Amino acid sequence: MGLDLGERRVGVAVSDTGRTLASPRTTVTRTGDPDRDLQHLVDVITEEEPVLVVVGLPLSLDGRRGAQADRAVAEAERLAGRLAAGGIGTELFDERLTTVSAATALAAAGTPSRKRRSVIDRSAATVLLQAWIDREQATVRRARGTDRG
């Protein structure tokens, strides 16, 4: 499962059981109550029964961690603490340009701008999760000596 943490919304994506394809799942709207929002995320996550939750780490373009990344790390740590009891792992993953990539893909697909606003967060989570999946698959291919890329 992939999460794109935003200040107002959290995009959620899931992968197939073979970990080859990410798909958008839902968008969770924040209420302003951090404890309530965390519990809602935990509920959404546990409903899907993932093995791992990949949380986007919003680094700056030069790779540095700013205030937004620090907030994402803190939230990911709180989430990890709640999920570990259920055997669900968490991992931070660089999400630079995922929202831009998602917006570009939605526009290219002809999605009207009004509709794009309502799906951008889960689309960004999908881009994030697919990038993580692709990296993991490339790592496995290199380890097997079958990487041709």
Where do the domains of the chain lie, and which CATH numbers do they carry?
2-144 (3.30.420.140)
Mean of pLDDT values over 102-120 = 64
pLDDT band (50, 70, 90) for residue 115: low
Angle at 30 (CA atoms; ends 29, 32), nearest 5 degrees: 155
> Contacts by 29-35 with C-beta closer than 8 Å and gap 24+?
30/6
pLDDT band (50, 70, 90) for residue 100: low
Mean of pLDDT values over 87-91 = 96
The model's pTM is: 0.83
pLDDT band (50, 70, 90) for residue 57: very high
Token match 């986007």: residue?
A: 56
pLDDT band (50, 70, 90) for residue 117: low
Exposed, middle or buried, 129 (CB in 10 Å: 0-12/13-18/19+)? buried
Q: What are the counts of helices (DSSP H) followed by strands (DSSP E) for the chain?
A: 4, 5
pLDDT of residue 119: 72
- Does residue 42 register a pLDDT over 70? yes
What average pLDDT is seen over the chain?
Answer: 87
- Does residue 105 register a pLDDT over 70? no
